[in-house]
A and B are shown apart, each in its own frame.
Chain A
Amino acid sequence: MAQKVSVWTSNRFWRRSATWITGVASVLLILLTFDSMAQMKMGTAEDIAKKIDKRIPSPLVINYTIEYKLDPYRGHEIPIIGGEMQRKEGGIKSAYEKKEKFFGRDDYTEEEARALIHKGKLTIQAKNCMDCHTLLGNGAYYAPDLTKAWLDPTWETLAPAFNGKEYAMAAFLQDPPKMAMHERKMPNLGITEEEAKAVVAYLKFMSAIDTNGFPRNFGKIKGAVDARK
């Protein structure tokens, strides 16, 4: 008859299990890192020309209209760049056709757009926006989430007075206390006109990044954004 044994109190069993789990988890993490790197690769002008969706689109999206609409196929809201079209499999996707003027132009080259967005990113880092705001899930929730700030309906209401919402956003950034629209007033950070323009370009570009529907219902919940209404 077999000897009565206790595997659960055996050191060897737990050691072998732990070694196996650690090994599998390490390999999984390495593979997932490579997958993330592929997912984070920025799209190109060619992708836009061929209407290929990328999670992070080409900087050229600042030449196009950007909306945030529910896609029944994906099951959440997605950025719609340059108007919508029907997806083969169902639902809607970006058409990359409808352009709009951004600071008077809709013909930024990929290099120009990339340089502008890069300057915006540097400004956002230099001014420590994340001390109060959230960008793509990182940062604080003292001030409004900036991930889809470009699509905040407040700017639509201000647009006519400034001849376009990009001008309204740039004016706000250059002197936030003057245009305060929240009880928690944003301080004047000494952002120059050029920097403000670049930050607005970055915000527009960021709103075109596919964040799997985050933040959900952005711009539709009264009081969450759009405090002026």
Chain B
Amino acid sequence: MFEPCRDVVCSFWSYLNQGPMTLTIFLHTLIVLPMIWIYFDEKKRLERGDIPNE
């Protein structure tokens, strides 16, 4: 999964974009994990009933 960079000019992004797995893990870490946290945070608030009806 973690291979040495094989791009012409290496950068942080070229490491990430070497295969689908690294990019998937990166984007999940940045987008999906926080969304899961947001989900449970909202659930907690709704259960407490401290969110006014919109």
Contacts and interface: CB of A to CB of B under 8 A. Distances in A.
Interface of A: 2-3, 5-7, 10-13, 16-17, 20-21, 24, 28, 31-32, 35, 38-39, 53-55, 73-75, 78, 89, 210
Given A2-B47, A3-B49, A11-B54, A17 B38 contact: yes
A35 B13 contact: yes
A10 B46 contact: yes
20 contacts: A3-B47, A5-B43, A5-B47, A6-B46, A7-B43, A10-B51, A12-B51, A12-B54, A17-B35, A17-B38, A20-B31, A20-B38, A21-B31, A21-B35, A24-B30, A28-B30, A35-B12, A55-B8, A73-B6, A89-B4
Contacts of B30: 24, 28
Interface in B13-54: 13, 30-31, 34-35, 38-39, 42-43, 45-47, 49, 51, 54
B34 A20 contact: yes
A32 B31 contact: no
Nearest to B11: A35
Contacts of A10: 42, 46, 51
Which 9 pairs between the two chains have the least Cβ-Cβ distance? Answer: A5-B46, A2-B47, A13-B42, A210-B8, A7-B43, A55-B8, A35-B13, A16-B38, A17-B35
Contacts of B6: 73-75
A35 B9 CA distance: 10
Contacts of A39: 9, 11
B16 to A, nearest CB: 10
Nearest to A32: B13
Contacts of B13: 31-32, 35
Contacts of B11: 35, 38-39
B38 A13 contact: yes
Contacts of A3: 46-47, 49
B42 to A, nearest CB: 4
B12 to A, nearest CB: 8
Given A3-B47, A11-B54, A55 B42 contact: no
Contacts of B38: 13, 16-17, 20
